[in-house]
Amino acid sequence: MAKVVMGRSRFKIQRRLGLELPGLGKAGAMERKPYGPGVHGMKRKKLSDYTIRLVEKQKILFHYGLREKQLVNYVKRAKKDMSRAWVDTLVIDLEKRIDNVVFRLNWAPSIPAARQIVSHGQVLVNGKKLNLPNYILKAGDEITLSERGFKTGAFLQAKARPRLSSIPACLVKQPVGEVEKAKLIADPLPEDIPFEFEKRLVTEFYWKVK
């Protein structure tokens, strides 16, 4: 599996983008220094139209831990769906990725941690072991962790300090004995994405992608 490498610290990424991205699992980036990193971080900068659109796209890229090529492929796929605005389809598909769902269930403290749990074969979908972090769930799928998965440091950390206070309405979670099970009961809503971004600017950034 290709590994997405964050060349910069998670704090600096979030400060440069101007908001916290829950998927990075590093809270408090904007509390002490609510401005960009570097010696010129506090200076007001006039941003070009391209940079403004780039920033909105980067929010999605870094939150979900994708490479640019991966995101472009999701964009191409979303544009083939004519049932809604393609950027809404994009968000829905990304929210249904199994690594994101494990994170949204508070079974991992970040999306990279959730991806590791999945790639190690510690996630079960409809009773079968799954090790593909980019697997897109369907409504009706049931999700749980293996016995070993519920004992990992990532799971215990997430339970002790949940990164998000609630789970989306499309997910139902319940304890079964000493473990937890969850079910995707419907497609997520575009509004379920746990950070603010401007859809129009993302649409404009990828307008040439077919």
pLDDT, tens digit, 9 for 90 and up, residues 142-172: 999 999 999 999 999 999 999 999 999 999 9
The percentage of residues in the chain with a pLDDT greater than 90, rounded to a whole number, is 75
- Give pLDDT tens digits for 33-86: 555 555 444 555 678 999 999 999 999 999 999 999 999 999 999 999 999 999
Please name the CATH architecture into which domain 97-186 falls: Roll (3.10)
**pLDDT of amino acid 31:** 65
Q: How confident is the model at residue 12 (pLDDT cuts 50, 70, 90)?
A: confident
- The more confidently predicted of residues 4 and 58 is 58
Exposure b/e, 144-153, CB count within 10 A at least 16 = b: bbbeebbebe
- Give pLDDT tens digits for 123-148: 999 999 999 999 999 999 999 999 99
**pLDDT of amino acid 77:** 97
Least Cα distance to 24 among 32, 34, 15 occurs for 15
Residue 185 has pLDDT above 90, yes or no: yes
The percentage of residues in the chain with a pLDDT greater than 70, rounded to a whole number, is 88
For domain 10-93+195-205, give the fold.
Ribosomal Protein S4 Delta 41; Chain A, domain 1 (1.10.1050)
CB atoms closer than 10 angstroms to residue 101: 27
The mean pLDDT of 86-114, rounded to a whole number, is 97
**123 within 8 A of 132, measured Cβ to Cβ:** no
CB atoms closer than 10 angstroms to residue 39: 6
Least Cα distance to 183 among 172, 193, 174 occurs for 172
Q: Which tokens belong to 83? A: 């049932």
pTM of full prediction above 0.85: yes
Q: Where in the chain is the domain with CATH 1.10.1050.10?
A: 10-93+195-205
The mean pLDDT of 14-39, rounded to a whole number, is 73
Residue 16 has pLDDT above 50, yes or no: yes
Q: Where in the chain is the domain with CATH 3.10.290.10?
A: 97-186
Q: Which tokens belong to 49? A: 């139209």
